[in-house]
Amino acid sequence: MTDQTYTSKKAAQAAARKEHGKDYAKRYEVQEVELGTNEWIIIEKAPVVTTGKPERIEQNGVKRPGPGKCLEVWEWLDENGNCMPKDLQPVAEAKGWNLNNAQIELYQWRKFNGIAGRQAKAAK
């Protein structure tokens, strides 16, 4: 941009609009040269760098969930391994998870990890 200064913010905005069109605010901003000097310049904004969404791991046709309650269930299952839906109920109540959602996440976690069929009954 130029080093030209303006006596008011309004004048700088008008000059920017004249030079860059109505959408000047997308790429340029009007800024005071030094606080209290009442001199204004038009400068180009720094480009916004977006990193995008983080890649989610996919296995067996199921994607690992993003941040939230579902991920909390999956992390608990990663630590404690496969369990029966009835064993998940007290944990869900203690952690404030919706029981139905926690059970659905259990089945998705099993599919993700390639665990098929029913779990064998524990010996008594």
pLDDT tens, 54-63?
Answer: 788 999 999 9
Burial classification of residue 97, based on how many CB atoms lie within 10 Å of its CB (0-12 exposed, 13-18 middle, 19 or more buried):
buried
Contact 99, 93 (CB under 8 A): yes
Contact 112, 65 (CB under 8 A): no
Decide which of 65 and 46 is more confident: 65
The pLDDT assigned to 43 comes to 81
Query: Could you identify the residue written with the tokens 């990663």?
Result: 78
For 63, the token pair is 């994607």
Contact 62, 69 (CB under 8 A): no
